[in-house]
Structure 1
């Protein structure tokens, strides 16, 4: 996914879901009965709508917006065996240092009608991939939407979670150790990894765990322990994608898609060497938010391999500010300088806009304005760089 004429635009995957769809997902997560046929119909309609809208605003490499999933990793509990119950995941340790902010955030979340990632199920039995039909239906629905939109995109991608985020967020309450659990999760996820490639789509592996877990699970441990975790997850991903074409796989890493101080985030420099061991063709990282924008410079010292590219987060998914196209262009020009070749960068977002249904902070009208600005900024940068 490189170009010597223009800078391709994409995003991290999830896009705002319609209110009716959010309501259905929220009811289902809360154990309330819903009309599954109505849910499927709403999801298909929403997929067609977001694909068409991506074409309209100038996205080159679209996704299905994750419209048929309640969350970027939570959906696997419905396609895999072994998950049940529920537990409450501890929030980021950074909030311990900001009790006033933590309370305001708690109150805001309590009134949000959506699906939270912090009350996930647990592993209570053997994890196996069971519902291949649901995965196939999502892919088919996406391809149908692409054809309806004119199929004039440069490419298209579909997401699947990292085995690390599933194993960390969906607590092990069955396996004798975390290594065995991680192995089985990865074996199950291989079904989706391989299906994406077989369908002619790019595969994006969402791996916030490779940065986020430092200030969650590993907050009270040495950074070397966390880097060891990153090494294990990357090795597990490499086994799961063995034999798949690396140029069709992109890896999305972030520090958590939430508004907060983020001053406990692990520096990119500490983890990038381990992350770059992933056998993928493209990396996607956030460089629009004010905590990590400066870290694009790390790629000058720790470079990508020559056949790899970088999707540069140029749009902050946690603010309603619509980035000026010149700001987007500046970020892309800076990234091109650090990577060393403008043909090896793409323009993207820091994360998804609705990583779990209804929890996005940016309304859909602003989202589409941001993505249009992404296109305009990418064109400005391309005019200067090429």
Structure 2
């Protein structure tokens, strides 16, 4: 009898000690590097332990050492300095009172988003090697058999760290793809699965490109996937996960591009595992896109629907998790479904809507729910 595996998108709540260290580094304050490294090692071990205890089959390091899933590259690659302009999502601009409330309540994370002002080159894989070692040691210690590590896609880097050096967007994407290639290959060579975070395939539609038509945006998104696939040329497809995202925030989301519009783009990525949102109210209906396009889902693709939400503190009932998961089992079969989360629980260091203890309660509900799937 096939047991459905469970996972999540990657980031998990960080402890205050970890957040303090990350922001000391972010703000260029003095800190003890040995103490920093020890804190990260201990925090990753605890994070993996909690995932295993919650019943998560495929674990991550929680992105513990990173300031965020995209902007961490500024610390590991040359060419970034200054600050990039902020672009509020178009849906929040439609509701200025709500946008002001978010800003006044501290609902917008504060961290540096430098521009690309020079050639993008790796500073070496030292930080990545520490992350890999921490995750693998924690997995061995707590009995986790399979793990994954997140990495930014060329497209999402271009979304948050905007170009002020390369002649064209295409040239910037190509440079990012070449620079990130070694990171991707190092993660897979370590025995971990690689997850590429790609909100540029959805969120950027209503952040940077809301003056374009959907067809024009799809062309841009396709160019992002081409750059990503180039960077993955030496990586086996069955070691790669891709996550599409419309923005991990509680908001109206009335400007989100439909999954149906992005379906072909998403399926064209060199990634066997496809992670996407199905729990929040703006995308819960879109499971029907996969049902209606079943013939267009390549036979080797594994669907990883988000069957728990990451923007509210409701803990989903296991029966609801089972119902959400069952829809995709009915489309592609049990062996091609892994149950996941809509997005991360700690997208930015020190910033997350969901209480840390509730985040793990949601992961426990995830595991309980998939056990009910027929």
Take 1:63 and 1:227, find their aligned partners in 2: how far apart are those partners?
31
Question: What secondary structure, in the 3-state scheme, does the structure 2 residue paired with 1:346 have?
Answer: coil
Mapped contact 1:47–1:67 kept (Cα < 8 A): yes
Report the Cα offset of residue 285 of structure 1: 0.3
Question: What secondary structure, in the 3-state scheme, does the structure 2 residue paired with 1:296 have?
Answer: helix
2:325 — aligned with what? 332
Mapped contact 2:202–2:245 kept (Cα < 8 A): yes
Residue 92 of structure 2 is aligned to residue 98 of structure 1: no
Residue 59 of structure 2 is aligned to residue 67 of structure 1: no
1:377 — aligned with what? 369
2:159 — aligned with what? 168
Question: What secondary structure, in the 3-state scheme, does the structure 2 residue paired with 1:194 have?
Answer: helix
Mapped contact 1:92–1:215 kept (Cα < 8 A): yes
Take 2:214 and 2:260, find their aligned partners in 1: how far apart are those partners?
12
Mapped contact 1:44–1:68 kept (Cα < 8 A): no
2:132 pairs with 139, 146, 151, which one? 139
Take 1:92 and 1:37, find their aligned partners in 2: how far apart are those partners?
39
Summarize the alignment of residues 53-92 of structure 1 with structure 2, pairs less than 5 Å apart: 53-92=50-89
Take 1:361 and 1:316, find their aligned partners in 2: how far apart are those partners?
11
1:349 — aligned with what? 341
Question: What secondary structure, in the 3-state scheme, does the structure 2 residue paired with 1:284 have?
Answer: strand
1:108 pairs with 81, 105, 110, which one? 105
> CA-atom RMSD, angstroms?
1.4
Report the Cα offset of residue 355 of structure 1: 1.0
Take 2:93 and 2:79, find their aligned partners in 1: how far apart are those partners?
33
Q: TM-score, normalised by structure 2?
A: 0.96
1:7 pairs with 4, 11, 31, which one? 4
Take 1:167 and 1:241, find their aligned partners in 2: how far apart are those partners?
17
2:119 — aligned with what? 126
Summarize the alignment of residues 180-329 of structure 1 with structure 2, pairs less than 5 Å apart: 180-303=171-294, 304-329=297-322
Report the Cα offset of residue 358 of structure 1: 1.1
Q: TM-score, normalised by structure 1?
A: 0.93
Superposed CA deviations along residues 167-192 of structure 1, whole A, max 9, x for unmatched, are 12101111111111111111111111
Report the Cα offset of residue 96 of structure 1: 1.9
Mapped contact 1:230–1:275 kept (Cα < 8 A): no
Report the Cα offset of residue 99 of structure 1: 1.3
- How many matched pairs? 372
Take 1:365 and 1:283, find their aligned partners in 2: how far apart are those partners?
27
Residue 69 of structure 2 is aligned to residue 52 of structure 1: no
Take 1:315 and 1:193, find their aligned partners in 2: how far apart are those partners?
27
Superposed CA deviations along residues 107-162 of structure 1, whole A, max 9, x for unmatched, are 1226x7xx536x411111100111211111211111111111124x3x21111011
Superposed CA deviations along residues 304-335 of structure 1, whole A, max 9, x for unmatched, are 11111100100100000000000100001112
Report the Cα offset of residue 27 of structure 1: 3.4
Q: Which moved more, 1:314-323 or 1:176-185?
A: 176-185
1:23 — aligned with what? 20
Q: Which moved more, 1:299-308 or 1:59-68?
A: 299-308
Report the Cα offset of residue 246 of structure 1: 0.7
Mapped contact 1:318–1:361 kept (Cα < 8 A): yes
Take 1:99 and 1:141, find their aligned partners in 2: how far apart are those partners?
43
Take 1:253 and 1:116, find their aligned partners in 2: how far apart are those partners?
23
Report the Cα offset of residue 5 of structure 1: 1.1
Take 2:249 and 2:23, find their aligned partners in 1: how far apart are those partners?
19
Superposed CA deviations along residues 328-372 of structure 1, whole A, max 9, x for unmatched, are 0000111222x3312211100000000110111111110110000
Take 1:191 and 1:352, find their aligned partners in 2: how far apart are those partners?
24
Question: What secondary structure, in the 3-state scheme, does the structure 2 residue paired with 1:69 have?
Answer: coil
Q: Which moved more, 1:34-43 or 1:369-378?
A: 34-43
Take 2:89 and 2:29, find their aligned partners in 1: how far apart are those partners?
29
- Structure 1: state its 5+ residue gaps: none
Mapped contact 2:2–2:334 kept (Cα < 8 A): no
Question: What secondary structure, in the 3-state scheme, does the structure 1 residue paired with 2:340 have?
Answer: strand
Mapped contact 2:44–2:135 kept (Cα < 8 A): yes
- Structure 2: state its 5+ residue gaps: none
